[in-house]
Amino acid sequence: MPKKSAPLQFIEPIGARVLVLKDEPKRETKGGIALPDAAEIPTITGRIVTISRQVAHDEDVPLRQYDKILFHPKNAIPVDFEPDNQLFVVPVEDVVAVFRKDKPETEPE
């Protein structure tokens, strides 16, 4: 008898939060020096996987799905979805920067 697979699970952030796939921590310096695990440089960048409905409808929050962001990890909540998971629910107020290819438009004064 075939084994039943578990149903797929989806994570939808609630409130002013985004779901972020955290980038891998750096394991070597720019100069090519390999770092031991205990000396990893903390990485606080990641890619937004999903945004909450509140964020999607808030014109004052310039975040979109797939944006690369810099975030403060203190309030990031890890999601135990699968082993070696790098998913975190991050409050919008902890997102400190968005990486853009184009210069943002400035608002007229």
For the chain, the structural domain boundaries read 17-26+39-99
Q: Quick check: 47 and 20 in contact, CB under 8 A? A: yes
Model confidence at 66: pLDDT above 70:
yes
Task: Report how far residue 93's alpha carbon sits from residue 61's, in angstroms, rounded to the nearest whole number.
Answer: 10
Q: What is the mean pLDDT of residues 6-29?
A: 80
Q: What is the mean pLDDT of residues 34-49?
A: 72
Note the pLDDT of residue 93.
95
Note the pLDDT of residue 95.
95
- Superfamily grouping for domain 17-26+39-99: GroES chaperonin (2.30.33.40)
Q: What is the mean pLDDT of residues 27-44?
A: 65
pLDDT in tens, 85-98: 789 999 999 999 99
AA identity, residue 13: P
Task: Report how far residue 69's alpha carbon sits from residue 91's, in angstroms, rounded to the nearest whole number.
Answer: 12
Q: How far is CA 102 from CA 10, 21, 48, 99, in A?
A: 31, 23, 18, 9
